Amino acid sequence: MSSSPLPTTQSASLSSTQTGMLFAVCAYTMWGFAPIYFKQLVHINAAEILMHRVIWAAVVLLGLVIGLKQISKITQALVDKKVMAILVCAGILLGLNWWLFIWAVNNDHLLEASLGYYINPLFNVLFGFIFLGERFRTLQRFAVGLAFTGVAILMFSFGDIPYIALALALSFSLYGLLRKQVNVDSIPGLFIETCMMLPLAIGYWLWIDSPTANFANNPMSLNLLLVCAGVVTTAPLLCFTAAARRLLYSTLGFFQYIGPSLMFILAVVIYQEPFNIERMITFGFVWLGLAVFSYDAWRHYRKQTI
């Protein structure tokens, strides 16, 4: 009799894990196709696009907060100094990551952006081990070593430091790590982070002298594209934060190959960015590391579910 609740608990845990996996797949698929959207705005400065991301994301999130009656959760977070300090740092990292990704896509560095997001799950493993006390298995260690070997070869043999890739990987891994530390739901947390950037975004809109800053001078199609930045921004992030709260941080990294794989295909096949020998070597090591990592994650997951 005393052991009867155990199957229910296990079932609930498994259901939560499966839900987290679904959220992760949705998040990374949307991120993978996001460059198609930003390529439509290639004639607009990256900072101006970031401004629209922040403003319209705040509008979308405000509607969600009111519609889902989550104002009380925002209030709880606002009175907690520790939570707010973490969300401030997370918001800064998020804004930096948003701007850098836009700049990379619209300046024909999508291939390097995809490399950054390939490296990202291995940063997740490393940070999960260092900061969260998650177990660092042998194959995970080997996978991380392979990826960083590829980056090291690019840096020291070819003298080419992948600044964009490393900055994107580091900023988003740190963002995910911080969000893992606070017990704030995805929508209220993201709303607070976005609102922290909102005064700067509005101030920038009032200050800039850009031909596209005035909606009255733009065609309706461009205005709709700019407003859609709110949905393009919030939808994958909401799925990501929902996944992060349900999965081990290292397990979450398992799904991130989806996004950069789609970006890689877009960069090489659609936008025809150069894929030279040094990039081939670096990507080869990273892909091999991800293959080892994926095998280890699959094997570990099977042990947990049997």
Distance CA 145, CA 194 (A): 35
User: Mean pLDDT, to the nearest integer, of 29-35?
Assistant: 93
pTM: 0.83
Distance CA 73, CA 101 (A): 30
Nearest Cα to 277, choosing from 167, 113, 169, 157?
157
End-to-end CA distance of the chain: 23
Neighbours of 61 (CB within 10 A): 25
Residue at 2 is within a domain:
no
Residue at 8 is within a domain:
no
Number of Cα atoms under 13 Å in the Cβ half of residue 17: 13
Neighbours of 2 (CB within 10 A): 5
Residue at 14 is within a domain:
no
Say which residues have a Cβ less than 8 Å from residue 84's Cβ, sequence separation at least 6: 77, 78, 192
User: What pLDDT score does 3 carry?
Assistant: 44
Give the pLDDT band of residue 4 (cuts 50, 70, 90): very low
Residue at 228 is within a domain:
yes
User: What pLDDT score does 184 carry?
Assistant: 86
Greater pLDDT, 117 or 86: 86
172: domain range? 19-305
Residue at 13 is within a domain:
no
User: What pLDDT score does 181 carry?
Assistant: 85
DSSP reduced 3-state for 207? helix
User: Mean pLDDT, to the nearest integer, of 228-248?
Assistant: 84
In the chain, alpha helices (H):
5-39, 46-67, 71-78, 81-106, 110-131, 138-156, 163-180, 186-207, 220-227, 229-244, 249-253, 258-265, 277-305
User: Mean pLDDT, to the nearest integer, of 223-239?
Assistant: 90
Give the pLDDT band of residue 129 (cuts 50, 70, 90): confident
User: What pLDDT score does 78 carry?
Assistant: 93
User: What pLDDT score does 257 carry?
Assistant: 80
Residue at 4 is within a domain:
no
Type of residue found at 63: G
User: What pLDDT score does 11 carry?
Assistant: 52
User: What pLDDT score does 249 carry?
Assistant: 63
User: What pLDDT score does 140 carry?
Assistant: 78
Residue at 259 is within a domain:
yes
Number of domains the chain contains:
1
Residue at 9 is within a domain:
no
Q: What percent of the chain has pLDDT over 70?
A: 92
* pLDDT of residue 278 exceeding 70: yes
User: Mean pLDDT, to the nearest integer, of 77-96?
Assistant: 93
* pLDDT of residue 8 exceeding 60: no
Q: Are 57 and 193 in contact (CB under 8 A)?
A: no
3-state DSSP of 249-280: HHHHHHHHHHHHHHHHHHHHHHCCCCCCHHHH
Q: Are 63 and 291 in contact (CB under 8 A)?
A: no
